[in-house]
């Protein structure tokens, strides 16, 4: 799948964001190794701390359907491309330390790319527990 297409999935997923408190809508699209795309949006809550980020919604949807191998994630939010939060980096690292992270603005026009290892260097993952 082309990177532009994955970004468009994220842009579309963002339209489902439930963000009445922050007003900051985020969409994510996670590309699995088998070619499937799992989307997510942020889901806020009146008890603010229960808010779930778009990226983790996408990961949990995939894993709950038996999919654990991923190539890339596209994230769409804001006026400029926004990076995933620290909690989402950690959750992504569990399954895909070499993941390509494609960060886009809300419309998918401006795009920045990084590998997850750059965003979370020396991350703690399953191997750390076995070392
Ligand atoms: N948010 C995400 O969905 N992903 C991130 O990586 C950063 C933050 C959401 C959480 C909250 O609903 C809103 O953006 C403002 O923090």
CATH number of the domain that 119 lies in?
3.40.140.10
Cβ of 91 closer than 6 Å to ligand 1, yes or no, is no
Q: Considering only CA atoms, which of 39, 52, 51, 41 is closest in space to residue 16? A: 41
C-alpha 80 to ligand 1 mean position (Å): 14
State the catalytic residues.
55
pLDDT in tens, 96-129: 999 999 999 999 999 999 999 999 999 999 999 9
**Cα–ligand 1 centroid distance for 40 (angstroms):** 11
As a dihedral over the C-alpha atoms of residue 85, residue 92, residue 73, residue 109, rounded to 10 degrees, the angle is: 10
104: Cβ contacts below 8 Å, ≥ 6 apart: 7, 10, 11, 74, 75, 76, 81, 110, 111, 112
Q: What is the mean pLDDT of residues 40-44?
A: 98
Counted domains in the chain = 1
Contacts of 47 (CB under 8 A, 6+ apart): none
* Atom nearest to 85 CA in ligand 1: 6
Model-level pTM? 0.97
Residue 53 Cα: closest atom of ligand 1: 3
- Domain enclosing residue 11, as ranges: 3-130
To which residue do tokens 């699209």 refer? 29
Pairing assessment for the beta strands 26-32 and 70-77 based on DSSP bridges: antiparallel
What are 27-36's pLDDT values in tens digits? Answer: 999 999 999 9
Mutate which of 18, 20, 26 for ligand 1? The one with the most ligand atoms within 8 Å of its CB, which is: 26
Q: What is the pLDDT of residue 1?
A: 81
How far does residue 129's CA lie from ligand 1's centre (Å)? Answer: 28
Instruction: Please report the pLDDT score of residue 131 as a whole number.
Output: 84
């Amino acid at each position: 799948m082309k990177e532009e297409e994955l970004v468009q999935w994220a842009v579309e997923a963002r339209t489902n964001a439930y963000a009445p408190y922050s007003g900051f809508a985020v969409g994510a699209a996670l590309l699995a190794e088998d070619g499937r795309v799992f989307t997510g949006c942020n889901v806020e809550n009146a008890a603010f701390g229960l808010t779930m980020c778009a990226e983790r919604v996408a990961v949990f949807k995939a894993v709950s359907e038996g999919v654990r191998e991923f190539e890339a994630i596209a994230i769409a939010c804001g006026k400029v491309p926004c990076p995933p939060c620290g909690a989402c980096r950690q959750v992504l690292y569990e399954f895909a330390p070499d993941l390509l992270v494609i960060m886009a603005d809300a419309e998918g026009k401006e795009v920045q790319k990084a590998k997850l290892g750059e965003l979370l260097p020396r991350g703690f993952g399953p191997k750390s527990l076995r070392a």
